[in-house]
Structure 1
Amino acid sequence: MSSTDALGTSAAQERSAELEQLIRKDPGQFRILTGDRPTGRLHLGHYFGTLQSRVRLQDLGVETLVLIADYQVLTDRDIAENLTEHVEELVLDHLAVGIDPERSTIFTHSALPALNQLLLPFLSLVSVAELSRNPTVKDEIAHSRQSAVSGLMFTYPVHQAADILFCKANLVPVGQDQLPHLEVTRTVARRFNDRYGNGTPLFPQPEALLSTAPLLLGTDGTKMSKSRGNAIALSATPDETARLIRGARTDAERHITYDPRTRPEVSSLVLLAALCEGAEPNAVAQEIGDGGGAALKRRVTESVNEYLAPIRARRECYAQDRALVRGVLRAGNERAGALADATLREVRAAMNADY
């Protein structure tokens, strides 16, 4: 990481701490946009990384919009062929963890034509060179399984800007790796206001609410990911969970300690148990002591299955009523669509294209 990146992250961390205080004082002044691509069922990394925080912010009274970014997976043919199923599974995961459709808005890209129309004027404000330099785009391209990169993937940061600005969200929960994307959004908002605002800004410059969630590794010791098959899905059965944890990587040292730097795989398992139990990782490690990897995995399996039991029960209940799931999406799409339509009307008026 360069010194500039380090300074940017440090500033974002300090500002996030200030924002948390402001949220507690007056949650009503914030509107949050967050979301996921429907590439598979959500897992424990998603839960402790973002989902738990979404529910917390919703319960504090922050207006929360949850985007299911179905247009952003059209580059993956396997997913696109089963898109309805993937979208509904994502809705089920959100309902199961506690997202309340009466207080939060769950919606899809494809249902909001006005949102997607914002992409064209926004693209006119960003250069090809700026898109090429975006580190997240470069990472997506590097890890893409496609023989050629589509224009959709290349313009992803600007599409994300449209996702955020259509509803005039002023706060976006992100991980450190998403800060460059949010900076594109801020740039688009600033340039649109400068070019078309006539002294009255149309768009806010949204701020990052930086996640403090610790990193959970997958069962193979790498980043937990749906595509790598190394994650424990929230909807996994207790037996599936036990099998996945039994196969998780550890190390040759029998005594269990919590040291993420030198023992990342063991420490990630200790951390997972601690998160599920509401305990300190060092305390969990001390309790296991010389029990070794087998005892550690038994502890993690019991903790995860106990923690996920009510989430899985709620998910199973919702899954029995697919009409309810579709109703949640219809209602969310209507609410989000009204916001997008209003914003597009304002954009057209500002651009003298209201005819």
Structure 2
Amino acid sequence: MSTALVAPAAVADPPPADPTPAGPTAAAERRGAELEELIRREPGRFRVLTGDRPTGRLHLGHYFGTLQNRVRLQRLGVELFLIIPDYQVLTDRDVAERLSEHVEGLLLDYLAAGVDPEQAVIFNHSAVPELNQLLLPFLSLVSVAELGRNPTVKDEIAHSRQSAVSGLMFTYPVHQAADILFCRANLVPVGRDQLPHIELTRTIARRFNDRYAADRPLFPEPEALLSAAPLLLGTDGGKMSKSRGNAIALAADADETAQLIRGAKTDADRRISYDPAARPEVSSLVLLAALCQDRDPHQVAAEIGDGGAAALKRTVTEAVNGYLAPLRARRAELSGDRGELRRILRAGNERARAVAESTLDQVRAAMGTVF
């Protein structure tokens, strides 16, 4: 088993949150600019933990929202831990269907997008039992009321497809805290809806340190790096989602992509403009083309002009298929060697376990449970 990695020093605490309702988000946005500058100057100071639940194919929303940024951070020199949280699939469903297929698909998407498995630690949750052993002491550090107040959990419960909510769903934020803290990550790229999870993780880290390691804090208090990713709507005008059939998967071929874009919702105004507030569906398509072409969306809209929805959809189809062509080619090449995919995942699991074992040993020592 590989040698455990040395955790980087924790970054300085962010400024106190604003007292206004928008305060935490505004503070995170201000801190984000500072963090980007620190990353540019000292990338080795940071360790990132992030990942995706293996519940289906990743799509363009995932790519422009998270994958592209992970590759950017890694290329800058930030240490990257990528978790495939297979246990967490059970938070909102009775069984984990087609799990092996989805885990392999996620790994293919990561590699095709440019994640370097020799540098990144890519691992699946269930292969690191030491990580899950952190859950019990962490649960002792939070109250039932604190878990119940978490807005993300409340939203997930409200939209759950289960007749009853499992204990796993209720404790989901503590599972996420264990995911982050087992490797002592100090930076977590998230969307605004995930800020409450990061704040609870910081609370758990702080309480553990105060209770068991006051003289020599064991865990950093990780910071949120807010995603600057623009909002891409699904082809039906709603939230882009794996389960709604309204997303363009990274694994989709050119014909499937063209068909999905042809069926995308637009509006009756023939002149194409970029106005996300007034014309969200049209503007999302314009933005998608602009992202793939690395251009300003207003310029893309102006060039289409009075061409209408048909011209807009042709432009988007050409842009998306052109942009994804090299990613799809690499994905197809990688998918032909399942043995290599398994080797990459086994190697990542071993590296993650080494880190988790080291952390758990120190947790036991701090808690006085080494006998």
Which of the five TM-score ranges fits, normalised by the shorter chain? over 0.9
TM-score (norm 2): 0.94
Give the Cα–Cα distance (whole angstroms) in 1 for the partners of residues 165 and 208 of structure 2. Answer: 28
- CA drift of 1:298 comes to 0.4
Which residue of structure 2 aligns with residue 74 of structure 1?
90
Which residue of structure 2 aligns with residue 138 of structure 1?
154
Segments of 5+ residues of structure 2 without an aligned counterpart are 1-17
SS at structure 1 position matched to 2:285: helix
Which residue of structure 1 aligns with residue 336 of structure 2?
320
Give the Cα–Cα distance (whole angstroms) in 1 for the partners of residues 107 and 94 of structure 2. Answer: 19
Which residue of structure 1 aligns with residue 235 of structure 2?
219
Which residue of structure 1 aligns with residue 260 of structure 2?
244
Q: Confirm whether residue 41 of structure 1 aligns to residue 57 of structure 2.
A: yes
Give the Cα–Cα distance (whole angstroms) in 1 for the partners of residues 187 and 95 of structure 2. Answer: 30
Pair 1:325–1:5, CA change in 2 (3 A): farther
- CA drift of 1:227 comes to 1.1
Q: Confirm whether residue 63 of structure 1 aligns to residue 79 of structure 2.
A: yes
Segments of 5+ residues of structure 1 without an aligned counterpart are none
Contact kept? 1:260, 1:267, Cα under 8 Å: yes
Which residue of structure 1 aligns with residue 354 of structure 2?
338
Q: Which has the higher helix share?
A: 1
Which letter maps to 1:128?
Answer: V
Which letter maps to 1:347?
Answer: V
Contact kept? 2:93, 2:162, Cα under 8 Å: no
Q: Confirm whether residue 112 of structure 1 aligns to residue 112 of structure 2.
A: no
Pair 1:290–1:305, CA change in 2 (3 A): same
Which residue of structure 2 aligns with residue 257 of structure 1?
273
- CA drift of 1:113 comes to 0.6
Which letter maps to 1:222?
Answer: G
Give the Cα–Cα distance (whole angstroms) in 1 for the partners of residues 95 and 294 of structure 2. Answer: 36
- CA drift of 1:230 comes to 0.6
Pair 1:233–1:79, CA change in 2 (3 A): farther
Question: For each residue in 1:59-110, what CA deviation from the matched residue of structure 2 results, as whole angstroms up to 9, or x when unmatched?
Answer: 0110000000100012465861321111011000000000010011100110
SS at structure 2 position matched to 1:74: helix
Which residue of structure 2 aligns with residue 283 of structure 1?
299
Contact kept? 1:258, 1:282, Cα under 8 Å: yes
Which residue of structure 2 aligns with residue 31 of structure 1?
47
Q: Confirm whether residue 161 of structure 1 aligns to residue 144 of structure 2.
A: no
Structure 1 runs of 4+ aligned residues shifted over 2 Å read 2-5, 74-79
Give the Cα–Cα distance (whole angstroms) in 2 for the partners of residues 157 and 276 of structure 1. Answer: 34
What percent identity do the matched residue pairs reach? Answer: 75
Which residue of structure 1 aligns with residue 194 of structure 2?
178
Which letter maps to 2:136?
Answer: L
Give the Cα–Cα distance (whole angstroms) in 1 for the partners of residues 240 and 267 of structure 2. Answer: 18
Which residue of structure 1 aligns with residue 7 of structure 2?
none
Pair 1:60–1:190, CA change in 2 (3 A): same
SS at structure 1 position matched to 2:51: strand
Give the Cα–Cα distance (whole angstroms) in 1 for the partners of residues 246 and 81 of structure 2. Answer: 29
Which letter maps to 1:207?
Answer: E
Contact kept? 1:39, 1:79, Cα under 8 Å: no
Contact kept? 1:273, 1:300, Cα under 8 Å: yes
Which residue of structure 2 aligns with residue 93 of structure 1?
109
Question: For each residue in 1:149-196, what CA deviation from the matched residue of structure 2 results, as whole angstroms up to 9, or x when unmatched?
Answer: 000111000000000000000000000110000001000000000100
Give the Cα–Cα distance (whole angstroms) in 2 for the partners of residues 43 and 97 of structure 1. Answer: 12
Give the Cα–Cα distance (whole angstroms) in 2 for the partners of residues 200 and 77 of structure 1. Answer: 40
Q: Confirm whether residue 274 of structure 1 aligns to residue 296 of structure 2.
A: no
Which letter maps to 1:48?
Answer: F
Contact kept? 2:270, 2:306, Cα under 8 Å: yes
SS at structure 1 position matched to 2:20: helix
Give the Cα–Cα distance (whole angstroms) in 1 for the partners of residues 212 and 243 of structure 2. Answer: 42
Which letter maps to 1:219?
Answer: T
Give the Cα–Cα distance (whole angstroms) in 1 for the partners of residues 319 and 95 of structure 2. Answer: 32
Contact kept? 1:235, 1:312, Cα under 8 Å: yes
Which residue of structure 2 aligns with residue 191 of structure 1?
207
Give the Cα–Cα distance (whole angstroms) in 2 for the partners of residues 84 and 74 of structure 1. Answer: 14
Which letter maps to 1:122?
Answer: F
Which letter maps to 2:299?
Answer: A
TM-score (norm 1): 0.98
